Structure 1
Amino acid sequence: MTPAPQTPQTLDLRQAIAIGNPKAIDLWLDVVEDPRLRSEQLGELDPGELLRLGDLMPVGVAAEVTDTLALHVAVDLVRTVAAARGGELLAALESDRAAEILRELDADERERLLTAMPAEHAVVLRDLLTWPPESAAAHMVPDVLTVGRSVTAAEAIAQVRDHRAKLRQDAHIGAYVFAVDPEGRLEGVVSFRDLVLADADTAVADLLEPDVVSIGPLTDQEEAARTVVAHRLLAVPVVDDDGRLLGILTSDDASDIAEVEATEDAERQGGSQPLEVPYLRASPLLLWRKRIVWLLVLFLAAAYTGTVMQAFEDELEAVVVLAFFIPLLIGTGGNTGTQITTTLIRAMSTDNVRLRDVGRVLRKEMATGLLVALAMALAGIVRAWTLGVGGPVMLTVAVALVAIVLWSSLISSVIPLLLKKLRADPAVVSGPMISTIVDGTGLIIYFTTAKLLLPELAGL
C-alpha cells in the first residue's frame, strides 16, 4: 500500500522519496524553499535515495533544484544518477554552473557526463573547462546577447527575442546588449532598458556606450569580482587579447566568488589551508592535512623563542621578576599585529590599499601604535605595581611595551603589502604567524631594555 501523503508541516525529503510519487517531491519543494535547508536534507541522503530522487524529478525541476544547492551536494546528486540522466541535468543548467560541477568530478566521470549530453552543450562546457579554475573565464556565461551596431533598436529587439532562450532567470544576462563586429570584437554596450525605450528607428550605434569596462579571460577571479562590484555592474564582458567577446561574468557569479575568497582568506588567517569542502563533510584526515603544514611551520618559527630565552638566561636568574611579564608583553605584541593585519588584508582585498600606499599606511599605523603603546604602558605600570615590583622594573615593563607595540605595528603594516607585491597571498600573514614573529623579537626587545635600565643587570 502506498504510504499516505504527509502534511506540509511534517513532510521531509526522505518521506517524499519513500512515498515514491513525483507529486510528493513537488510538495517537498513547495514546503522547503530555503536553499540551505534543501542542501542539508539532500546531503543526508545515501546514494540509493539520491538515485531514486533523480528518477522522481523531471529534468527541469531537477535542474532548478540543483542550481540552488551547495556545490558539494549538487556534485553528489549528479555523480549518483545515471550518466544519461546526469547529462540531461547538466545540459539544463546554466553553462557556468554546469562547468563548476564538472570541475569537481574526476576525469572519467566528467567525460562520461559530457558524452551523454547534447553535443552543442558539451562543446560549450568543454571550452569553459579549458580555462584555469581561478580565472574569470572559468566562471563566465558564454551565452551573450549581441547585435551589430548598424541595426535599429527595433531590429535589435527582434534579434534579442530570437535568442530569448539565452536569458537566465536572474535576468543579468539580459541586462545588457553588446554590439560586436562581424569578427565578434566588442564595440560597445547598451542597456536593455535603453534599447526598449528608444524610438524604433534609432540606430544602435547612437545608443552605444563605447567605453566598456571589461576583463580578460585569465584575469584572476577575485580581481574580476572586484571589478564587477567596484563599477556596480550587473555583468562585465570577458574579452580576449583581440577584443573578441567570449562571455560575461554576472554579479551573481561575482558574489559567489567573493564569498569563496573571503572564506579562504579567513581560513588562511587562522593558520590553516582552505578546506575546499564544507566543514561537516571534512574528515579528520583532511583537517589534519590542511592544518599540519602551517602548524609545523609555526612550530619551527616559534622554536627560536626558546633560543632567545636561553640566551638571556643570566638576566632571568639575576632578576627573576622579569619572567612574570613575559606572557603579557609578547601577548600584547601579537594581538597588536593581528589587529593590524586583519584590517589591512581586508582593505587590500577590496583594493583600498596597495603597495604605493605603504607610506600612508605606516604613518597611520605608527601613529595609532604610539597611542596604543602609551595606553598599554600605563596598564603595564598598574599591573607591575599590583605585583609589588620596584620602580626600575615598572619602568622596564612600560618602555618594553611601547617598543614592542611599535615594532609589531611596523612589521604588521609592511609585510602584507610586500607579500602582495611578490604575488603571494597576504592572508598567509595570519594572526599566528605575526604572533610567532613578535614573540621572539619582543623578548629580545624586553631583555635588551632590561639590561639598559636595571642596575642588577649591568655587565651581564
Structure 2
Amino acid sequence: MNIVATQDLDKATIAARLGHEHVADIVEFLNGKTAEEATELVGHMPLQWAVEVLDQPQFQDACEVIEALPQDKAVALLEGMSADRASDVLRWIEEPSKSRLREALTPETRRGIDHLLTYPDGSAGALMTTEFVSVPSNWTVGQTLAHIREVEHSRETVYAIYVLTPDTKRLVNTVSLRRLIFGAPDAPIGSVANPYAPITVPPTMSQEEVARIISKYDFLAVPVVDSTGHVLGIVTVDDVIDAMIEEQTEDVQRMGGMEAIDKPYLDISFFEMIKKRGGWLCVLFLSEMLTTSAMQVYADELEKAIVLALFIPLVMSSGGNSGSQATSLIIRALALHEVRLRDWWRVAFRELPTGLVLGSILGVIGIVRIVVWQQAGIFDYGEHWRLLAITIGAALVGIVTFGSMAGSLLPFALKRLGFDPASASAPFIATLVDVTGIVIYFSVAWLFLHGTIL
C-alpha cells in the first residue's frame, strides 16, 4: 500500500489521502505510526472516517487517541462508535480522563456503555453490542423494511431482525435479512420468521462458548438475552473472531512458558518483555533443579556405568516430546469441547496404548542404533552392550508412555482446579517428565544391568 508518497506532506493532506483507502489499510498504516502521529492524523479525518477507524479492534492506539484528542472531538467519536467498541476503549482509559469523557456523553450512550462495562472481560455481555434492529411481532414485512431504512445508520449490523412481543418486549423469534427481503410487504413479520425457537446466549457465557454456538449454527450474530427473555444485545461473528484470535494468542504464549502479552511483539518494551518471560523462566529453572537432584541420587550408578549417561538426553527428550504432543492435543480438544472433564478416563485409556506403541517404536529405533554402532565399530559399548540395548529400549517404552499419560491428564487436572489448561505448557511437561524419567531410566537400568555393569 502506497498511501503517502513523500514525508513532506502535511497531516491534513495525508488524512485526505487515507480516505481513499480501505479501513483495514488505514488501520495498518496508523499502527506503524506513534500514538502522537496517529492522534494528529485521526484529528484531521472527517468524523465518519475516524469513527470507522476507531471501531476496528486492530487499531492499537485507540485509547491513546481518544484520550489525547480535544474533548468535544473525542466525545463525538465515542458517540459514533459501536457501543461495545466504545466500552472497550473507555475501559482502559485512565482516570480522571475516563470519568470526564463518560460524563460528556449523552445519557443514552452513557447508559449503554455503563451496562456493557458491568460484565466481566471475556463474557458474552462484554463482547456484545447493544445496537441491533428489533420490531414488534404485530408489524408487517413492509413496516420492518421501512424501519430498517430509518435506523440502519445507527446500527452496527443488520444481520437479523429480532421480533419482540408488543407489550413485554420479550424475544419471540428472529428473521434473517434474506428471508425478510423475499417476504411480501403486507405479510406479517412472523410469516418470514425462523421456524424454530430463537437460539440465544446469556450475558455471562464465556466468549469461547459463544464462538462454539455461532460456529455450530453458522450464525452471523447471536442475541444475548437475560433471564426474563429480554434482548440485551447481540454478539457478531466479527467480534467473536477478534476475541478468539486474542484468546488463542494468549494460549500459545502460555504454552510457551511465559505470561501472555497484550501488545504486538515489537511494541513491547525491553523491561516489560523481561518481566513477562523472566518469572516463568526462573520457575522452570528451579523446577529443572529437581532433575539434578534426581540424578544425584543415582550418582553411584553413573560412576559404575558412565555409558548410561550417554543416553540420558535421548530418553529424556523422547518423553518430553511425547508429553508435549499429548498436552497440545488435549488443550485444543478441551477448548473445542471435543472432550470434557468427565472424559478424562477415556483419554487415559486411549493414551496408555498410544504411549506404549510410540515408546516401542522409539525403543526399537534405539536398540537398532546401539547394535549398528557396536557392530560397525563406531563406538564400543562394552561386553554387555546387548543388555544395554535392551535397557534403553525398555526405558524408552516406560518414559514415553509416562510422558503421554502425564501430558494428556495434566490439562484435566488444571481445568478441574480452575486454572487455564494452557498453563500445562510444553516446558512444564518436559520438566515433569525429566524428573520422573530419570527415576524410570535408572530403575530399568538397575533391573537389567544389576550384577553386570551395575
Tell me the TM-score normalized by structure 1. Answer: 0.90
Going from structure 1 to structure 2, the CA distance change for 1:191 and 1:69 (only over 3 Å counts) comes to closer
* 1:25 aligned residue: 15
What amino acid sits opposite 1:183 in the alignment? Answer: T
1:285-306: CA deviation from partner (whole Å, max 9, x where unpaired): 2122222332233223222111
Going from structure 1 to structure 2, the CA distance change for 1:24 and 1:444 (only over 3 Å counts) comes to closer
Going from structure 1 to structure 2, the CA distance change for 1:80 and 1:333 (only over 3 Å counts) comes to same
What amino acid sits opposite 2:305 in the alignment? Answer: V
Counterpart CA distance in 1 for 2:249 and 2:8 is 34
Which of 131, 137, 140 is residue 152 of structure 1 equivalent to?
Answer: 140
What amino acid sits opposite 2:4 in the alignment? Answer: L
Counterpart CA distance in 1 for 2:422 and 2:35 is 37
SS in 1 for 2:60: helix
C-alpha contact (below 8 Å) 1:71/1:101 kept by paired residues: no
Q: Displacement, 1:69? A: 6.3
| Mean CA deviation greater in 73-82 or 356-365 | 356-365
Q: Displacement, 1:307? A: 1.5
* 1:185 aligned residue: 170
Which of 169, 174, 180 is residue 195 of structure 1 equivalent to?
Answer: 180
Which of 251, 266, 272 is residue 237 of structure 2 equivalent to?
Answer: 251
| 5+ long unaligned stretches in structure 1 | 1-7
- In the alignment, is residue 415 of structure 1 matched against residue 404 of structure 2? no
| 5+ long unaligned stretches in structure 2 | 374-378
Q: Displacement, 1:41? A: 4.2
C-alpha contact (below 8 Å) 2:326/2:404 kept by paired residues: yes
* 2:351 aligned residue: 365
* 1:11 aligned residue: 4
* 1:4 aligned residue: none
Going from structure 1 to structure 2, the CA distance change for 1:457 and 1:124 (only over 3 Å counts) comes to farther
C-alpha contact (below 8 Å) 1:13/1:28 kept by paired residues: no
C-alpha contact (below 8 Å) 2:83/2:112 kept by paired residues: yes
* 2:361 aligned residue: 375
Kindly, what percent of the aligned residue pairs are identical? 33
Counterpart CA distance in 2 for 1:34 and 1:160 is 24
Q: Displacement, 1:437? A: 0.3
C-alpha contact (below 8 Å) 1:13/1:42 kept by paired residues: no
- In the alignment, is residue 349 of structure 1 matched against residue 342 of structure 2? no
C-alpha contact (below 8 Å) 1:51/1:81 kept by paired residues: yes
Counterpart CA distance in 2 for 1:74 and 1:185 is 35
Going from structure 1 to structure 2, the CA distance change for 1:51 and 1:160 (only over 3 Å counts) comes to closer
Q: Displacement, 1:340? A: 1.4
What amino acid sits opposite 2:421 in the alignment? Answer: P
Which of 424, 437, 442 is residue 419 of structure 2 equivalent to?
Answer: 424
Q: Displacement, 1:323? A: 0.7
Counterpart CA distance in 1 for 2:42 and 2:137 is 45
* 1:3 aligned residue: none
Counterpart CA distance in 2 for 1:14 and 1:103 is 35
C-alpha contact (below 8 Å) 2:15/2:42 kept by paired residues: no
1:4-49: CA deviation from partner (whole Å, max 9, x where unpaired): xxxx957258544xx243x44222443x5473674354442352x3
What amino acid sits opposite 1:101 in the alignment? Answer: V
Counterpart CA distance in 2 for 1:457 and 1:33 is 75
Counterpart CA distance in 2 for 1:34 and 1:151 is 36
SS in 2 for 1:163: helix
C-alpha contact (below 8 Å) 1:88/1:116 kept by paired residues: no
| Mean CA deviation greater in 130-139 or 251-260 | 130-139
Q: Displacement, 1:258? A: 1.0
C-alpha contact (below 8 Å) 2:179/2:193 kept by paired residues: no
- In the alignment, is residue 99 of structure 1 matched against residue 99 of structure 2? no
* 2:269 aligned residue: 283
- In the alignment, is residue 309 of structure 1 matched against residue 295 of structure 2? yes
C-alpha contact (below 8 Å) 1:38/1:69 kept by paired residues: no
Q: Displacement, 1:84? A: 1.9
C-alpha contact (below 8 Å) 1:12/1:28 kept by paired residues: no
* 2:205 aligned residue: 219
Counterpart CA distance in 1 for 2:85 and 2:280 is 33
What amino acid sits opposite 1:318 in the alignment? Answer: K
* 2:159 aligned residue: 175
SS in 2 for 1:114: helix
Q: Displacement, 1:310? A: 1.2
What amino acid sits opposite 1:188 in the alignment? Answer: N
Tell me the TM-score normalized by structure 2. Answer: 0.91
1:371-397: CA deviation from partner (whole Å, max 9, x where unpaired): 321221122113333243211111111
- In the alignment, is residue 117 of structure 1 matched against residue 112 of structure 2? no
Which of 266, 283, 288 is residue 297 of structure 1 equivalent to?
Answer: 283
Task: Write out the 4+ residue segments of structure 1 that deviate beyond 6 Å after TM superposition.
Answer: none
Going from structure 1 to structure 2, the CA distance change for 1:359 and 1:285 (only over 3 Å counts) comes to same
C-alpha contact (below 8 Å) 2:164/2:172 kept by paired residues: yes
* 1:323 aligned residue: 309
* Alpha-carbon RMSD: 2.3
Aligned pairs (5 A) from 1:437-448: 437-448=432-443
* 1:136 aligned residue: 124
What amino acid sits opposite 1:273 in the alignment? Answer: E
SS in 2 for 1:72: coil
